[in-house]
Structure 1
Amino acid sequence: MSTPTTVRDTAATIGEFFTRFGAGDRAGALELFSPDADFLVAGAEDFVPWAGLRSTVAAFDEFLRIAIEDVTTERFDITKILVDGEDGVVLGEFAHRIHRTDRVFRSRFALHFTVRDGLIVRYHMFEDSHRAELAWR
């Protein structure tokens, strides 16, 4: 007889991602991604190092490294989480201080997750890419 397993649902996986990410647990956050996740942060990828399409675990890890090590989050407020089956949308606002320039980047954001079998298979982040570019330059 096999041992039953528990798979996190969409809301629990999103919550766990923010818990691990917020604690600076890069390895723990990375564990939540499917190896073939559809990972996109819309924006000016030539100027904003976390922006762009990523398609490998190493590339996801580099995004997390940048977000945890190259930036200090001064404010991060989630205003709403909407879940419909495998899909979750998170709305909020943040302020990040970019270490290289010492500029603060403030933006509203929308983050679209898709979770399947307890793993994130889609992570699409939308933020004010113009302000992000200005903060990184």
Structure 2
Amino acid sequence: MTATATTRATVEELLRRIAEGDPGRIAELYADGADWKVNWPEEELGRAATPWIRHKGSRADAAAHYREIGEHHVPEEAGTVVERILVDGDDAVVMGEIRQTARPTGRAYRARFALHLTVQDGLVTRHHVYEDSLSVAEAFRG
């Protein structure tokens, strides 16, 4: 299997597992020590209202990320849309729109995103997400 085919298969499996919502199964696809970054201002990272928004590096961090997203959103009102997956060798970019409702405030939001993933040996080694952080932050403001 080529690097591009492996990357596409891993990314599609990751998205399938995210849709299923089992944090442990999602985390199995991340390499320990993965380079995980978000595009939020440093002073806003890891705030109580959005604890999943922080830099990470382990499988345990990946599982916590998806668990915390579930805890802070209304699952019945989620509707993330993946519009395109672009793959080039070990790298992939997933583009779409997050549609969520903040559990603490009840505010719905939509946020455009691009997710840059790198896959090596069938595991995600880079997870850099670029999203409309203002939409997310406003939905969680009290």
- Distance in 1 between the 2:11 and 2:17 partners? 10
Q: Tell me the equivalent position of 2:88.
A: 84
Contact 1:13-1:118 at 8 Å conserved across structures:
yes
| 1:38 has 2:35 as partner | yes
| 1:128 has 2:132 as partner | yes
What's the TM-score, normalizing by structure 1? 0.87
Q: Tell me the equivalent position of 2:71.
A: 69
Paired residue for 2:19, among 18, 22, 26?
Answer: 22
Paired letter, 2:114 = A
1:13-67 CA-to-partner distances (Å, cap 9, x unmatched) read 1100111110112111110000110112222313532212112322222111012
Aligned residues with identical type, % of pairs: 36
| 1:113 has 2:110 as partner | no
RMSD: 1.5
Distance 1:33 1:64, change over 3 A: same
| Stretches of structure 2 lacking an aligned partner (at least 5 in a row) | none
Q: Tell me the equivalent position of 1:97.
A: 101
| 1:48 has 2:50 as partner | yes
Contact 1:41-1:50 at 8 Å conserved across structures:
no
Judging by fraction of residues, say which structure has more strand.
1
| Stretches of structure 1 lacking an aligned partner (at least 5 in a row) | 1-7
- Distance in 2 between the 1:113 and 1:23 partners? 19
Moved over 3 A (4+): none
Paired letter, 2:126 = R
1:92-134 CA-to-partner distances (Å, cap 9, x unmatched) read 1121111111111211100000000000000111111111111
Paired letter, 1:13 = T
Judging by fraction of residues, say which structure has more helix.
2
- Distance in 2 between the 1:22 and 1:76 partners? 9
